[in-house]
Structure 1
Amino acid sequence: RHALTNTIVTNTDPDRMAAQLPAFFDRVLVDAPCSGEGMFRKDPDAMQYWNLAYPKECSTRQRTILTQAVKNLKPGGELIYSTCTFAPEEDEQIIAWLVETFGFEILPVKKYPGMDSGIPEWANGNPDLKNCVRIFPHHFDGEGHFIAKLKKPETGEPDPKPKRFRGIGRNIEMPTKDENVLLNQFKDDTLTDVNFKKLVVFKDHLYSVPEETPNLSGIKIVRLGLEIGTFKKNRFEPSYALALALHADQVKRQVVIDQLQWAKYVHGDTFTVEPSLSKGWYLLVCANQPVGFAKVVNGTAKNFFPKGLRFIV
């Protein structure tokens, strides 16, 4: 839904990620599970599970996660750490621990008016903790947050090389000859200048993954790159994700729709188009933005907006 073409979403324990992809990432963001003190104003129910021991419990969990995340990061790479709590045990004290344990350097984060600096006195007194950012809701419009940016030390040793992509488990394969024929038919009929990256098929769904994709064996995948579409009974059906990732000049056929037609589309309804339009797939464009695919047949745009996302405007 964000038109991302090179993103792989996983749901995997940090220790498994660290073992499979050591020193692989240039940057790692750890939006850590925390005691949530910064959310109390927005979500009063969050106070119900808070207790005096909870920040300490969360800090233990955060150190466990970070110990593994550090392994994923290349030497010289950047680690961004954030929480939505005020607790020093989960903020400055965690950053001080990262510096002392792994030799990280605390980098400055740009502060906007109303943002506060980290407070060294709430940890080990390291003055570089002032490079961190604290957001207090009575100083800055929003809720309570903490942000830190760190750099992993260089080691001078070559980075370990993860295995290249060779499939990631059962039911994930390269497209068959017949599937390639169907895909090429769709591309010839519908697209103009689109070159997909490495293509794989999982349960009849075709995905494009980055060429640099490593071996992901044992890692649970939620979204494997950009979904191109689905193979169905000798035909290829393009995906909603592909529609949002395309630009209008990358398709041969498009239909510009107005707000009323868009409202019908997101509700799952069909709507009429010019009877002269030939049969086939069309990219729907509303307010200069692609919003999905429709299949035009005899002056009717058949709806392919995902059922689970439909809503009433």
Structure 2
Amino acid sequence: MLRESQKIPEEFLDRMRKLFPEEEEWERFLASLSEKPKRGLRLNLQKLKKAEKAGFSFEKWKEAWKLKALFPKKEEMDFPEGEEIDFSENREYLVCEEESGCRAEIGRDPYHEGGLYYIQDPSAMEVVSGMHIRPFDRCLDLCAAPGGKSLHMADRLDGHRGGFLLSNEYVGERARILSQNAERMGYANLCVVNERPQNLAEKYPGFFSRILVDAPCSGEGMFRKSEEAITDWSPDLVEKCVLRQKEILKEAFLMLREGGELAYSTCTFEEAENEGIRKWILEENLDYQFLGEKRLYFHHAKGEGQYYAYFKKAGQDLEEKKQRTEYSILKKNKSIFLYPAFLSVFQDLKLFRLGIRIFEEGKNGWEYSHGLSHALNLEEILPIVEEQRLEKKYKLLYGIYLTREDKRIEDYLYGNEIPIAEEELQVLLPGKMAEKSGMGILYCDGIPLGFGYYRNGRLRNYYPKGLRYRK
């Protein structure tokens, strides 16, 4: 019945049967194929901390949405002593949508639009949590779209301590989606590019201290969520994926610096793509130490299928060097980016994003880019932004702080003009005199949503049309 209704390939089931010799375990796996996937939510911890300073209560929100920490304690994994995963800061939560009293509208929600959280599969959230990323690491995500793991990495980095992420996606349209997701989260120490791994390896040998290869795979762990994954699956696909995974990893080996760590992950159950690749990695790199691995099946995990393994390269590890954060400006095509100067090494790549896009060229000259409103370091970079001698129609003057319960928040997200009282305006730049009209950033519980133009008690809507709610 299961095979007929879900059209699960017979060859796949025959392969999986060998992994579960015990009948009870096999029946549990078969039953899990028909279960509804669970949903996860990963916090943008940097944005949360800023929102809490503005009065946002995470505890109230957590209770309202029945959020449960995915990693309430250290995960029990077979890692050498001293290499255990540290989950001291919880970013990863399950959304208990079916519990009584929970009215979570995950995804269609002002907190989501403001970049407070990213919707992500619970199993996928385990991968980055075990990468031992330090605030000052030089990170590379080689196969990054749509961005869940990439942005998870970015949230663990501190640009003021030299930490950064190069987020790469080879497929152009997927790189665009990756860039849009990055914009919402607001990280300035992040670069999104559209490059062949071979090109990156030529330019950055031995450069990165942390590399993630979330490799293209046969996708068996997505069978519950994707009919396309089921339709596309074949033994030939598995073989092609193994070859492709090795090609990508060969370039990653070249870019990993001494003492650095490599994470490899897939969303499939195939041994050839998982343990087979792990064995091959160690054969190819005699100076790599194997740190540990884990398989996540539907009936064992809180999310979908996942495999991940970690490796450490011998040699002197990257050490933190204290440095002052300086910013640079790049004008590219019809955009102007502001970024930490240490990201200049990436400015000649096929860029989708370099730091924060602060201006975009419009019909009437330069306009503030939506990404600027979401920048985590807005207070720091705003004086630099305003120093740019550009022909722009309006000045950015105000912060407008409303609560989630205020109907004007929803009206704004639908693209409507909303009323704003003069006393609700707060000057963004200290010492700057308020004016009768100007651009403002609308906040929901301290979380930025986007721009609007204030004049005569009204806020004209500048929320991007492609992001607006539709009835």
TM over 0.5: yes
The corresponding residue for 1:209 is: 339
Q: Secondary structure at the match of 1:212?
A: helix
- Asked whether 1:301 is paired with 2:446, we answer no
Q: 1:215 to 1:248 in 2, by over 3 A?
A: closer
The corresponding residue for 2:329 is: 199
Matches of 2:367 and 2:452, distance apart in 1: 10
The corresponding residue for 1:264 is: 411
The corresponding residue for 2:358 is: 228
Residue 54 of structure 1: how far off its partner (Å): 2.2
Residue 52 of structure 1: how far off its partner (Å): 2.0
Is the Cα–Cα contact under 8 Å of residues 80 and 147 in structure 1 kept in the other structure? yes
Is the Cα–Cα contact under 8 Å of residues 266 and 312 in structure 1 kept in the other structure? no
Q: Which amino acid aligns with 2:304?
A: E
Matches of 1:9 and 1:93, distance apart in 2: 30
The corresponding residue for 2:257 is: 74
Is the Cα–Cα contact under 8 Å of residues 347 and 354 in structure 2 kept in the other structure? no
Q: Which amino acid aligns with 2:297?
A: F
- Asked whether 1:45 is paired with 2:228, we answer yes
- Asked whether 1:146 is paired with 2:307, we answer yes
Matches of 1:247 and 1:75, distance apart in 2: 31
* Cα shift readout 1:25-76 (whole Å, capped 9, x = no counterpart): 1111111000111111222332222122322221110000000011121111
Instruction: Say which of 271, 283, 287 aligns to 2:445.
Output: 287
Q: Secondary structure at the match of 2:331?
A: strand
* Cα shift readout 1:4-35 (whole Å, capped 9, x = no counterpart): 11111011110001111211211111110001
Q: Which amino acid aligns with 2:230?
A: M
Q: 1:245 to 1:214 in 2, by over 3 A?
A: closer
Matches of 2:378 and 2:446, distance apart in 1: 8
% of aligned pairs identical? 35
Is the Cα–Cα contact under 8 Å of residues 199 and 208 in structure 1 kept in the other structure? yes
Q: 1:208 to 1:89 in 2, by over 3 A?
A: same
Between the two proteins, the alignment pairs up a number of residues equal to 253
Residue 275 of structure 1: how far off its partner (Å): 5.0
Q: 1:293 to 1:198 in 2, by over 3 A?
A: same
Matches of 1:95 and 1:36, distance apart in 2: 18
Matches of 1:43 and 1:249, distance apart in 2: 42
Q: Secondary structure at the match of 1:290?
A: strand
Matches of 1:196 and 1:287, distance apart in 2: 30
Q: Which amino acid aligns with 2:235?
A: L
* Cα shift readout 1:140-168 (whole Å, capped 9, x = no counterpart): 12111101111123289x9xxxxxxxxxx
- TM-score, length of structure 2 as denominator length: 0.50
Q: Secondary structure at the match of 1:253?
A: strand
* Cα shift readout 1:187-206 (whole Å, capped 9, x = no counterpart): xxxxxxxx972111123422
Structure with higher helix content: 2
Aligned pairs for 1:157-168 within 5 A: none
After superposing the two structures, state which structure 1 stretch, 67-76 or 273-282, moved more: 273-282
Matches of 1:51 and 1:204, distance apart in 2: 44
Matches of 2:270 and 2:259, distance apart in 1: 28
* Cα shift readout 1:241-281 (whole Å, capped 9, x = no counterpart): 11112478778632123442111212211111125762112
Q: Secondary structure at the match of 1:42?
A: coil
Matches of 1:235 and 1:13, distance apart in 2: 34
Matches of 1:310 and 1:226, distance apart in 2: 21
Instruction: Say which of 369, 374, 377 aligns to 1:244.
Output: 374
Q: Which amino acid aligns with 2:278?
A: I
Aligned pairs for 1:92-111 within 5 A: 92-103=275-286, 104-107=288-291
Is the Cα–Cα contact under 8 Å of residues 80 and 150 in structure 1 kept in the other structure? yes
Q: Secondary structure at the match of 1:209?
A: strand
- TM-score, length of structure 1 as denominator length: 0.73
Matches of 2:300 and 2:217, distance apart in 1: 21
Q: 1:220 to 1:231 in 2, by over 3 A?
A: closer
Instruction: Say which of 264, 289, 294 aligns to 1:133.
Output: 294
After superposing the two structures, state which structure 1 stretch, 240-249 or 3-12, moved more: 240-249
The corresponding residue for 2:273 is: 90
Is the Cα–Cα contact under 8 Å of residues 338 and 358 in structure 2 kept in the other structure? yes
Q: Which amino acid aligns with 1:134?
A: R
Structure 1 gaps of 5+ residues are: 108-130, 159-194
Is the Cα–Cα contact under 8 Å of residues 187 and 376 in structure 2 kept in the other structure? no
Matches of 2:363 and 2:268, distance apart in 1: 52
Tell me which structure has the larger Cα radius of gyration: 1
Matches of 2:347 and 2:450, distance apart in 1: 33
Matches of 1:235 and 1:45, distance apart in 2: 44
After superposing the two structures, state which structure 1 stretch, 198-207 or 250-259, moved more: 250-259
Q: 1:225 to 1:95 in 2, by over 3 A?
A: same
Q: 1:245 to 1:151 in 2, by over 3 A?
A: same
Bigger relative contact order (CA 8 A; separation at least 6): 1
Q: Which amino acid aligns with 2:262?
A: L
The corresponding residue for 1:21 is: 204
Is the Cα–Cα contact under 8 Å of residues 265 and 303 in structure 1 kept in the other structure? yes
Q: Which amino acid aligns with 1:221?
A: L
